[in-house]
Amino acid sequence: MAEYVTIEKGHGPEGRIAVVRFDRGDGINAMSPEALRQLTDAARSFEDDASTSVVVLTGGAKAFSAGFDLKDPEGRSRKTMDLGALRRHIKLGPRLTGAWQDMEQITIGAIEGFCIGGGVALAVALDFRVMASNAHMRVPEIALGMNMSWQSVPRMLHLIGPARTKQAVILADQRISAAEAYDWGLVEQVADPGKAFDAAMALAEKVAAQPPLSVAMTKLTVNRLAHALDDLASHMDVDQFALASLSDDHKEGVAAFLERRKPKFRGR
């Protein structure tokens, strides 16, 4: 089985920085179900790691991630699953973002190229995001007849507010430039093209120089306060996604995407 994720430890002050690289080597970096599992396992591998204070997550040089892989055979098998099997399978996404949000270490995303759909969902589950000035984000789920899931809407709401969240999610064909993402509060820093990782590592070094226990406890406090109602607000996230996946509009959205044409939605 292909390894899409690598982990490097021992960087920075006292070796307290780790780097997680998600790179399928194809310039697209789509998230197949297996990639979701590997990224989830990577996050969970730090649960008992007292020697790491900061984790930098980076994608490929041309793409952080193109989002869920609509062409992956396992992913495409969802259309033949019964509702129970479908609900279980689509929990891979929220399980991934939850694992990264719940990490004790400070997490920083280094975004080059494009960051789309599930890539955005993963990015907003991190503590900080550094984006190359020529990179962009896009949330195409609605254009595919789906809802934005993986408990991403509450996270985006905390970062950019209700109107911008609606703008980003509902206007599915809108590219969000690095400048716009920074202005909205979707990313914390913009770097020169090709330098997002370097800038993320510089930020990581500043964090790693701080007292690890105080940093971890502060992160936990902020997250508990900020996300206290998120589960309540998005408890139907998976079921909404499952329901939308059974709609004719979803079938039309995916078909139009694969055939590279404009979809014709009919609200059914």
- What is the distance between the alpha carbons of residues 53 and 96, in angstroms, rounded to a whole number? 20
Q: Residue for token digits 């950019």?
A: 160
| CA pair distance 218, 220, nearest whole angstrom | 5
Task: Please give the sequence-ordered ranges of beta strands (E in DSSP) within the chain, or none if there are none.
Answer: 5-11, 17-22, 30-31, 54-58, 63-65, 67-68, 106-111, 114-116, 128-132, 136-138, 176-177, 189-191
At 97 the three-state DSSP class reads: helix
How far, in Å, CA of 154 to CA of 152, rounded? 6
Q: Are 149 and 236 in contact (CB under 8 A)?
A: no
Strand-pairing partners, residue 63, are 113, 114
Kindly list the catalytic residues.
141
